[in-house]
């Protein structure tokens, strides 16, 4: 019953900021973020509500402006703000808590189907995103990392922090020196596939920075797949081949990939610690996964090309 009341309030709030007489929302994902499917006279859209502790109003405004920039350069590769970016960062109330919202167009197509061909397509789409010239200045939003004293995931977080610090202390590369628009959560589940076209969505962690961080997110995802190492190597090569098709010889040096993979793991662990209730059994699985990932990437030498045939 409370969800129904929250939905009606969300409808009224969004209709007002979009200048719509009437619109309809339906809750489709009730997680840390709330995802709502919407419809109005202007068409279909998705509304994502993020809790105040996860994303600020300013962060969602920046997300919308980056999406607007992407759409102005290549409208085919990303779901853009629905009816313009001005509504982004609007405050909503859900279950008595404050949330901030952004509505985007629907990314048409099918989900990733585990094939190397589609991962190559995803690589091309990410390459297109990274090739967009960053001609606008986007306000930098600093977010404090909450490293509070807690037993939850403390071992895992410390393990990754030590590995990243050791990598940097040895003088290994931690940056490619390149700058681009970054998706922030780049993996094929955040793409929709239609023929040769891929539309990216879920830009909640988007920013401007080192593109290797996005490439590392794909490597991080692959490392955790429960698949034979040979298959993961095939998928990784397909992704990089697609990515290289777009970069025209100008793409970033990927030798800093291990450092960025460790950074993705640290971000994931902090999110789990701060927002997800974990049973002892699940936390044990997380510990095993973190140990595996750190073992794979802590001391790994990666060539500038990024191509890796084994060791997953």
Q: CATH number of the domain at 179, please.
A: 3.90.1200.10
Q: Based on the domain organization, do 191 and 92 belong to the same domain?
A: no
Q: Based on the domain organization, do 94 and 122 belong to the same domain?
A: no
Q: Based on the domain organization, do 157 and 126 belong to the same domain?
A: yes
Q: Is residue 127 part of a domain?
A: yes
Q: Is the pLDDT of residue 251 over 90?
A: no
Of 164-168, 249-253, 307-311, minimum mean pLDDT range: 249-253
Range of the domain at 283: 116-297
Q: Based on the domain organization, do 217 and 250 belong to the same domain?
A: yes
Quote the CA–CA distance of 227 and 224 in Å, as a whole number.
Answer: 9
Q: Read off the pLDDT band of 3 (50, 70, 90).
A: confident
Coil, helix or strand at residue 267? helix
Exposure of 286 in the CB half-sphere (CA atoms within 13 A): 24
Quote the CA–CA distance of 253 and 111 in Å, as a whole number.
Answer: 30
Longest Cα separation, the chain: 60
More confident of the two residues 150 and 283: 283
pLDDT computed for residue 38 by the predictor? 98
Q: Is residue 308 part of a domain?
A: no
Q: Based on the domain organization, do 203 and 95 belong to the same domain?
A: no
Q: What is the mean pLDDT of residues 22-34?
A: 96
pLDDT computed for residue 250 by the predictor? 77
pLDDT computed for residue 147 by the predictor? 45
How are the residues of the chain apportioned to helix, strand and coil, as percentages rounded to the nearest 5? 45, 20, 40
Q: Is residue 201 part of a domain?
A: yes
Per the CB < 8 A criterion, the answer to whether 81 and 36 are in contact is no
Q: How do residues 179-218 score in pLDDT, each as one tens digit?
A: 999 999 999 999 999 998 999 999 999 999 999 999 999 9
pLDDT computed for residue 1 by the predictor? 59
> CA 95 → CA 88, 190, 204, distances in Å?
20, 27, 21
Q: Based on the domain organization, do 90 and 123 belong to the same domain?
A: no
Q: Based on the domain organization, do 172 and 248 belong to the same domain?
A: yes
**Angle (deg, nearest 10), helices 229-247 and 116-131:** 40
Q: Based on the domain organization, do 266 and 132 belong to the same domain?
A: yes
CATH number, domain of 27, equals 3.30.200.20
Q: Is the pLDDT of residue 149 over 50?
A: no
Domain count, the chain: 2
Q: Which of 80, 105, 130 is the last residue of a domain?
A: 105
From 91, 96, 90, 92, select the one nearest 2 (Cα to Cα).
Answer: 96
Per the CB < 8 A criterion, the answer to whether 131 and 247 are in contact is yes
Quote the CA–CA distance of 264 and 160 in Å, as a whole number.
Answer: 10
Q: Is residue 111 part of a domain?
A: no
């Amino acid at each position: 019953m409370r969800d129904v009341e929250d939905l009606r309030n969300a409808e009224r709030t969004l209709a007002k900021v979009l200048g719509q007489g009437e619109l309809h929302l339906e809750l489709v994902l009730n997680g840390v973020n709330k995802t709502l499917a919407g419809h109005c006279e202007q068409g279909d859209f998705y509304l994502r509500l993020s809790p105040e502790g996860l994303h600020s109003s300013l962060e969602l405004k920046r997300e919308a402006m980056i999406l607007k920039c992407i759409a102005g350069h290549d409208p085919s590769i990303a779901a853009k703000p629905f009816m313009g970016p001005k509504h982004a960062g609007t405050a909503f109330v859900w279950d008595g808590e404050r949330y901030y919202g952004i509505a985007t167009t629907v990314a048409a197509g099918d989900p990733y189907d585990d094939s190397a061909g589609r991962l190559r397509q995803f690589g091309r789409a990410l390459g297109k995103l990274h090739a967009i010239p960053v001609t606008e200045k986007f306000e930098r939003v600093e977010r404090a990392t909450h490293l509070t004293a807690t037993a939850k995931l403390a071992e895992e977080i410390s393990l990754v922090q030590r590995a990243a610090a050791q990598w940097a202390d040895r003088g290994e590369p931690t940056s490619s020196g390149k700058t681009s628009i970054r998706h922030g959560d780049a993996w094929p589940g955040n793409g929709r596939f239609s023929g040769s076209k891929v539309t990216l969505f879920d830009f909640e962690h988007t920013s401007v920075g080192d593109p290797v961080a996005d490439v590392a997110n794909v490597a991080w995802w692959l490392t955790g797949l429960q698949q034979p190492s040979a298959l993961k190597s095939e998928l990784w090569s397909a992704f990089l081949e697609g990515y290289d098709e777009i970069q025209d010889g100008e793409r970033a040096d990927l030798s800093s990939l291990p450092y960025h993979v460790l950074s993705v793991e640290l971000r994931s662990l902090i999110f789990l610690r701060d927002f997800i209730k974990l049973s002892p059994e699940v936390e044990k699985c997380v510990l095993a996964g973190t140990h595996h990932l750190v073992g794979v990437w802590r001391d790994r030498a990666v060539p500038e090309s990024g191509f890796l045939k084994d060791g997953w």
